[in-house]
Amino acid sequence: MEPAPPIYGVLETALYVDDMERAASFYSELLGLKEITQDARFHAYEAGLRSVLLLFKRGATLDTVHLPGGTIPPHDGHGPLHIAFAVAADQLSAWERRLGDAGIPVEGRTDWPHGGQSIYVRDPDGHLVEFATPGLWPNYR
């Protein structure tokens, strides 16, 4: 078998939510993510230089979506999922204060072997949201 062509990163991450307005408020207002587009099924947010966070209304993507340029197959998700946001080491305490001021408790903390730190909170749908500083992974410096 030939070597796999290169992968340049994770472009999109999807979370499935029960209440889109509540989730949109958390990600756009509290976390400050810039909305790119939305429709009845989803909202899309910039989540870094080349990453997009997609919030889908749970159950709203169970049918094939037909677009002028092609189709998107059905997908959905259930249960608490996980997402990690890359943050600067000197901003982790500011994130913790902002979340605390909004009544969002830190559920966990980790000091990583490579020097990074993480804090964990829950979004309104119970998804685990991590704020991670450089050093979490060998390729995240």
Averages of pLDDT over each 10 residues, the chain, 141 residues:
93 97 98 97 95 97 95 95 97 98 98 96 98 95 90
> DSSP label at 89?
G
CB atoms within 10 A of CB 121: 21
Task: Label residues 2-21 b or e (16+ Cβ within 10 Å = b).
Answer: eeeeeeeeeeeebbbbeebe
Domains delineated in the chain: 1-78 (3.10.180.10), 80-141 (3.10.180.10)
pLDDT score at 14: 97
Q: What is the pTM of this model?
A: 0.94
